[in-house]
Amino acid sequence: MSGRDLLAQPRRFRRGAALTLVFASVLVAGAATGSFSESDRKSAADEARSAVPAGHHEDVARAAEEALADGKSPMEAAERAVSRSGDRWGAVYSQGDYEEFEEALDGRYTGVGLSARRERDGLIEVTGVAPGSPAAAAGIRPGDRLRSIDGEKADGRPVTEVVSRLRGDAQDAPAGTEVRLGLQRGTRAWTETVRRALLSTDSVSVRKLAGGVSVIRIAAFTKGVGDLVHAALRRAPAGAGIVLDLRGNSGGLVTEAVSTASAFLDGGLVATYDVDGEQQALHADPGGDTTRPLVALVDGGTMSAAELLTGALQDRGRAVVVGSRTFGKGSVQMPSRLPGGSVAELTVGHYRTPSGRSVDGHGITPDLEVTARGRKAVERAETVLAGLGDSD
């Protein structure tokens, strides 16, 4: 599991209260706000409100009221209510998280610019450093071990908790506040104090390989990602292959995932989801590029809306999926304001790929299993692309 500090514990109070496809306790700041197509956003939000099983939310609201009457704080009351609901993916967020949620969806976040992964032995490894970030200025590199945060041991903690501490969520630490990091590189151990900053995430990056192949990496589906992918395709050499790198993509706005699918599909089904026993559908816009060789590169950190996109491209025969099995989070959540002002997200359904496969708890199995990481994985994807070109 991996995540950048902008993609920490979800910040999930949503304007319009649209359906969300979210994975619990991991990474994505905006989570995934579901709708039909770009032109149907308002109607989708309206349908989402009316489709939510009222009893589930009312039971939680009632439990929260009882906890408040018992003298619990609003957050304690909400957390107890959601815990008692038995909802595996249920989560609670404070009212004050709304502004940070808006920032995250716009591709802005407060943090130090580190990506982190928990290894099998529980050690926390730095997997990426955002250019121009406080972490980069401090000389922190991928591969460094993150041993502690403000004097508290990082080893053995869930990566979500580590990322949340980097952001300063528990301390409500804004940009400019300091965080003390204990680091190790080989046999060298040292402490580095950095200041959190308001950073921008490059949700889409593009680089060219030999032979005209473009690697389009999508870190998260924040606002405008679909347009950026369309623009990258227009700039790519005619007929050249594309590696769509979704490794570590923890999700985001489903509208942006559908828009990205539209870049490679000529209309048609992207996914279905059920709410209160009724099935709804997400469709791509017509006119996408259906002829370029395309490989989708995924791993265990590919989640939620990124899995939705991967499943659509695989089921529609549009891309060869390369890498390792994806995370497996396909639940549909709906936000609900509770007594005391906190917000609960409760599961109301699940989504499926065009062929009807359930993603939740299963993930997407690649067409070609590749255990290599980093550049080696991209090289394998490039080899697959070459084969696709030879078969045309």
Between CA 329 and CA 322 the distance in angstroms is 19
3-state secondary structure labels for all residues of 167-229: HCCCCCCCCCCEEEEEEEECCEEEEEEEECEEEECCCEEEEECHHHCEEEEECCECCCHHHHH
Type of residue at 155: D
Q: What are phi and psi of 43, to 5 degrees?
A: -65, -35
The CATH code for residues 112-200 is 2.30.42.10
Q: List alpha helices for the chain, DSSP H.
A: 41-51, 54-69, 74-85, 98-105, 134-137, 159-167, 225-235, 254-264, 305-315, 374-391
Neighbouring C-beta atoms of residue 175, cutoff 10 Å: 14
Neighbouring C-beta atoms of residue 294, cutoff 10 Å: 22
Residue by residue, pLDDT tens for the chain (392 residues) are: 333 332 323 333 332 223 333 322 222 222 222 222 222 223 333 333 333 344 456 666 666 667 667 777 766 777 777 777 777 777 776 655 544 555 556 666 788 988 787 787 889 998 778 778 899 999 999 889 999 999 999 998 877 678 778 887 656 778 899 999 999 999 999 999 999 998 876 788 999 998 889 999 998 888 889 999 999 999 999 889 999 999 988 787 888 999 999 999 999 999 998 876 788 899 999 999 999 999 999 999 898 899 999 999 999 999 999 999 998 988 877 777 776 667 777 787 788 999 999 999 899 999 999 988 888 999 999 999 988 865 44
Q: Give the pLDDT score at 25.
A: 24
Q: What are phi and psi of 80, to 5 degrees?
A: -65, -40
Tokens 């390792």, located at residue: 324
Do 153 and 159 contact (CB within 8 A), yes or no? Answer: no
pTM confidence score: 0.67
DSSP letter string over 248-310?
T---B-HHHHHHHHHHHSSS-EEEEEEETTEEEEEEPPS----SS-EEEEE-TT--THHHHHH
> How is the chain split into domains, by residue range?
2-105, 112-200, 204-331+351-391
Between CA 260 and CA 229 the distance in angstroms is 6
Type of residue at 284: A
Q: Give the pLDDT score at 2.
A: 33
Domain 204-331+351-391 is found in CATH 3.90.226.10: yes
| CA–CA–CA angle 208, 214, 217 (5° rounding) | 100
